[in-house]
Chains A and B, each alone.
Chain A
Amino acid sequence: MLRAWFNRQGKTIKQIWPLLPAAAYLLGFLVIVCAYLIGLTFSTETSPGHFLFPSMHTLSTIFTGKQFSKALINTVAFVLVGTPLEIVSGFFLAIILYNSFKFRSIIRGLFLIPLALPALVTATLLFILFDFPGGHINHLLMGKYAVFPQVISHPIDWRGSRFFALGISLLGKAWRDAPISMLILLSGLNAIDPEILDAAKTMGAGLRRRIWHVILPLMIPSLSAVLLLRSIEMWKEFIFPFILAGKYGLLGTLIESLYNDWGNSNQAAAVALILVLCIVFSTLLFLWVMEILKKKVLKV
């Protein structure tokens, strides 16, 4: 009996050994990341080259500083506005592709272009378009092209104001990632049995009713998946605000500036750790809310 068990274990190991190098590589880095994040966060440099561990000094410095709370507020706003923006636009694109029409596959290919464009390139493009005082967008809004009415009289310094700088970062992020939401939602739509929709039609449900009472409820699993995944991506965002928002940063850009501009790896690691915790916390919160909503909906 025991021998058979050992034989089976031996066989399993013989089968899975090719997995081990990759597992060691990934798990090794996981350990490094966790150890360094915690180690750096809870130590302070007492004098050049000398570190004290454990210490709460780094964290308390961060929490008392103004920079951090600003960045945190910016990030939360970024997540709260960006996630719905991205999902609504993704849903819009998905609905278009859900219908069959001529050139559908070509248009599907076009919709995927933003995804193929490197984020840095998209950020650069926005950097050029929202230039001040020149820039296409400023010229457009000032009514210099015949097709568009004049909205502003003076050019706006987009990257110079907190609101606009974060706004265009958000725009870039939503533009680039909407196709991902589109793909997930489209597969959710395609998973709906067309016969169900036909059945609703024969029962006299118009388009609006079909969307509200049939499509949306059936889409809840894919919608909540998109909501969760995309909100996590919003927390993680770095490139767009790094290129476009400069000093009006998010947590991500704060980490970069603490590390590169201030050379403070302890504080950078601390913010990095807080960012991870923020994501964990918001994920749990999201799942909790979903659970409650599910119960409420089931009651109704």
Chain B
Amino acid sequence: MPLAKSSFLKKRAKGLVWVASILFSVALVVVPVYLLVKYSVSDSGSINTGGAPIPLWPYAPTLRSFTYLFTESQFYGVIVNSIIIALATVFCSMLLGVPAAYVLGRYRVPFRRTMLLGLISVRLFPDISSVIPITEFFIRFGLQNSYLGAVLGHTLLALPYVIFIGMSAFESIPSDLEQQAQVMGAGGFTIFFKILLPLSIPGLIAAAIYTFLLSWDEFIFSYFLLGLGKISTLTLFLRQKLAYAPPQNLLAAISVFISVPVIAFSLALQKYMTAGYTSGSVK
């Protein structure tokens, strides 16, 4: 009897450790995010408490930081810049990346591995190392402080990802489908637009969203290629504010503003990636 009791206790203790470690790790992830949101809706009294402990929920929660941001005329321009650069980056990297991904995913290309390594090799350099030469190069050709320069830089960062995600999207389509269409009389263009493209759309959308987000929250290349010049993006705006030690609730508000689309789309992206869209076509 006592033996049974002790094993029961042991089991209980194990369960407790288990639940505690789950709670601990969840807290580790969630609490910082919660605090960020909390700061973004804090009133100034909840930040400068004059020695009293900073409250876990603001005394007087307010959206004033956000409304303040939108009264600042510069902020609109910054958002528009970020969106323009991100969309242009998506356009450029899809334009270059999708055809490349198509070739790599569908054909038996000679020296495929070597080619892939060659394509990503420029990304093996640390960003901070590759950005210096590129900035120097852009200065020489008048591309620094221009939308084009930023877009070219971001495209460089995103292109390998587009190629990889797109490649696996094209690869996952069974070649039977393509050949079936061919036997039925479809030419190359019909096969591409009627069969391959519709089936790879989820993967390509994922690649496009990924590219958009990459550009949206990119900092290093923007910082060097745009400097703190007249074209500013959201991340540069945040960094600029950081340098002048502004109210913390304002910093948190900008941070939240940058993060929301990223987190939202990341969840959607996860869904897209795992969708078993081709299941059922081939047994």
Contacts and interface: CB of A to CB of B under 8 A. Distances in A.
Given A18-B102, A21-B96, A239-B219, A112 B266 contact: yes
A272 B163 contact: no
28 contacts: A19-B109, A19-B115, A22-B97, A23-B100, A25-B155, A26-B122, A26-B159, A27-B118, A27-B119, A30-B118, A40-B132, A40-B133, A113-B30, A118-B235, A119-B217, A124-B254, A125-B252, A125-B255, A127-B242, A128-B251, A144-B53, A238-B220, A243-B242, A259-B224, A269-B136, A272-B132, A275-B126, A275-B129
Interface string B141-175: 00000000000000110011001000000000000
A145 B53 contact: yes
A236 interface: yes
Contact of B100 (A21, A122, A135, A239): A21
Which secondary structure dominates where chain A touches chain B?
helix
A256 B35 contact: no
A200 to B, nearest CB: 19
Interface of B: 21-22, 25-26, 28-30, 32-33, 35-36, 39, 47-49, 52-54, 96-97, 99-100, 102-104, 107, 109-110, 115, 118-122, 125-130, 132-137, 155-156, 159-160, 163, 217, 219-220, 224, 235, 238-239, 242, 248, 251-252, 254-255, 258-259, 262-263, 266-267, 270
Contacts of B119: 22-23, 26-27
B159 A25 contact: yes
Contacts of A110: 26, 29-30
Contacts of A196: none
B132 A117 contact: no
A112 B32 CA distance: 13
A48 interface: no
A124 B251 contact: yes
Contact of B26 (A22, A107, A118): A107
A113 B259 CA distance: 10
Contacts of B136: 36, 40, 265, 269
Interface string A114-145: 11111111101101110100111001000011
A252 B128 contact: yes
Interface residues of A, number: 69
A65 B239 CA distance: 29
User: At the interface, is chain B mostly helix, strand, loop or mixed?
Assistant: helix
A23 B115 contact: yes
Contact of B22 (A107, A112, A124, A134): A107
Contact of A175 (B32, B248, B258): B32
B128 A236 contact: yes
A80 interface: no
Interface of A: 12, 15-16, 18-19, 21-23, 25-27, 29-30, 32-37, 40, 92-93, 96, 101, 107, 109-122, 124-125, 127-129, 131, 134-136, 139, 144-145, 175, 235-236, 238-239, 243, 252, 255-256, 259, 265, 268-269, 272-273, 275-276, 279
Nearest to A27: B118
Nearest to A23: B119
A268 B49 contact: no
Nearest to A125: B36
A265 B32 CA distance: 38
A111 B29 contact: yes
